């Protein structure tokens, strides 16, 4: 376990509770939120280095990008830039690593207490279901990386995001840095305490992975991905894509055998 891929998001960082003020690029505290995220990522990197990890790639996963480059740990490299390259090309980068870690993750859309809960687009998507099971961004990452042979070994974020990860991957290490008490409110740990727990948690996750590895997440196919939107015009646009079946005014389904081709459609 020497090469780790870190997937970052912003909404699950301690102290970042508001879509409008903190998670949106035009929010008045966006730059402060970026620094909070980057410090949590740096804490994870410290935990990795202390357990002998040698190569760390940080993927700047939030919206238009939220890592504060000048603050990023010197031991890490950064995958960034928008628009994102095609997944077919990202795959080749992902395959260079042995495991994936998520920092700053939020719960799926519709989670009652999940702070800033959403799935992909907070303004358009009601839910995603894969083979009947509700999924969020954590499942998307775990399944995509799992299909490439990388297990999701650690996640930090909102408490509901942690529970979501544990339901997906038994044995995964998690650190809840805040407890959501509504979509726009949470009880956060202090920033130093959140970082301390992430550093220790990542270290423990790597040691556990060496001693008693959790496998990459794989669900048996064939797959049916159901997406429900809040508005009919978004469903109209989705249904116009090839291979997409209209279920009702707001819902579409996509079928496939290859999770890599399906999960980010």
List residues near Zn ion by CB under 5 A: 9-11, 62
Cβ neighbors of 19 (< 8 A, separation 6 or more) are 11, 27, 116, 122, 184
Name the residue number minimizing CB distance to Zn ion.
62
- The sign of the torsion formed by the CA atoms of 44, 45, 50, 55 equals positive
Residue among 33 and 238 whose Cβ is closer to Zn ion: 33
Residue 24 or 166 with smaller CB distance to Zn ion? 24
- Min CB(63)–Zn ion separation in Å: 5
Kindly give the interhelix angle for 137-147 and 159-168, rounded to the nearest 10 degrees: 40
Question: Rounded CA gap, 224 and 16, in Å?
Answer: 34
Please, what is the minimum distance in Å from the beta carbon of residue 62 to Zn ion?
4
Min CB(19)–Zn ion separation in Å: 9
Instruction: Work out how close the CB of 9 gets to Zn ion at its nearest, in angstroms, rounded to a whole number.
Output: 4
* Smallest separation, CB 174 to Zn ion (Å): 18
Nearest Cα neighbor of 5 from 142, 143, 99 is 99
Judged by beta carbon, residue 116 or residue 209, the one nearer Zn ion is: 116
Give the nearer residue to Zn ion in terms of CB position, either 10 or 169. 10
Read out DSSP for 86-129?
PHHHHHHHHTT-SEEEEEEE-PPTT-TT-TT--SS-TTTEEEEE
What are the angstrom distances between the C-alpha of 183 and each of 26, 76, 117, 211? 19, 32, 6, 38
Pick between residue 9 and residue 46 the one whose CB is nearest to Zn ion: 9
Per DSSP, the three-state class of 216 is: coil
| DSSP state string for 232-261 | HHHHHHHHTSTTEEEEETTEEEEEES-HHH
The CB-of-8 to Zn ion minimum distance in angstroms stands at 9
Q: How far is the CB of 122 from Zn ion (least distance, A)?
A: 9
Nearer to Zn ion, 46 or 164 (CB): 164
Q: Report the C-alpha gap between 243 and 246 in whole angstroms.
A: 10
- Those residues with Cβ within 8 angstroms of residue 92's Cβ, 6 or more apart along the chain or in another chain: none
- The residue (of 11 and 60) whose beta carbon lies closer to Zn ion is 11
């Amino acid at each position: 376990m020497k090469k780790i891929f870190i997937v970052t998001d912003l909404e699950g960082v301690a102290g970042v509770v508001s879509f409008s003020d903190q998670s949106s690029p035009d929010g008045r505290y966006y730059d402060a939120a970026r620094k909070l995220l980057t410090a949590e990522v740096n804490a994870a990197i410290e935990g990795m280095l202390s357990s002998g990890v040698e190569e760390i790639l940080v993927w700047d996963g939030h919206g238009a990008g939220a890592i504060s480059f000048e603050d990023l740990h010197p031991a890490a490299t950064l995958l960034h830039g928008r628009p994102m390259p095609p997944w077919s090309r990202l795959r080749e980068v992902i395959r260079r690593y042995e495991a994936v870690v998520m920092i700053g993750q939020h719960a799926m859309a519709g989670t009652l207490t999940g702070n800033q809960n959403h799935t992909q687009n907070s303004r358009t998507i009601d839910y995603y279901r894969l083979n009947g099971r509700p999924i969020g961004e954590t499942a998307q990452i775990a399944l995509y990386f799992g299909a490439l042979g990388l297990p999701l070994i650690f996640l930090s974020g909102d408490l509901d995001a942690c529970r979501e990860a544990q339901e997906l991957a038994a044995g995964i290490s998690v650190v809840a840095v805040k407890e959501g008490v509504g979509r726009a409110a949470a009880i956060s740990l202090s920033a130093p305490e959140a970082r301390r727990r992430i550093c220790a948690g990542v270290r423990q996750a790597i040691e556990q992975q060496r001693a008693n590895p959790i496998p990459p997440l794989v669900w048996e196919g064939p797959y049916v991905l159901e997406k429900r939107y809040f508005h009919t015009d978004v469903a109209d646009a989705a249904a116009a894509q090839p291979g997409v079946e209209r279920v009702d005014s707001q819902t579409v389904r996509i079928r496939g055998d290859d999770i890599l081709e399906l999960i980010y459609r």
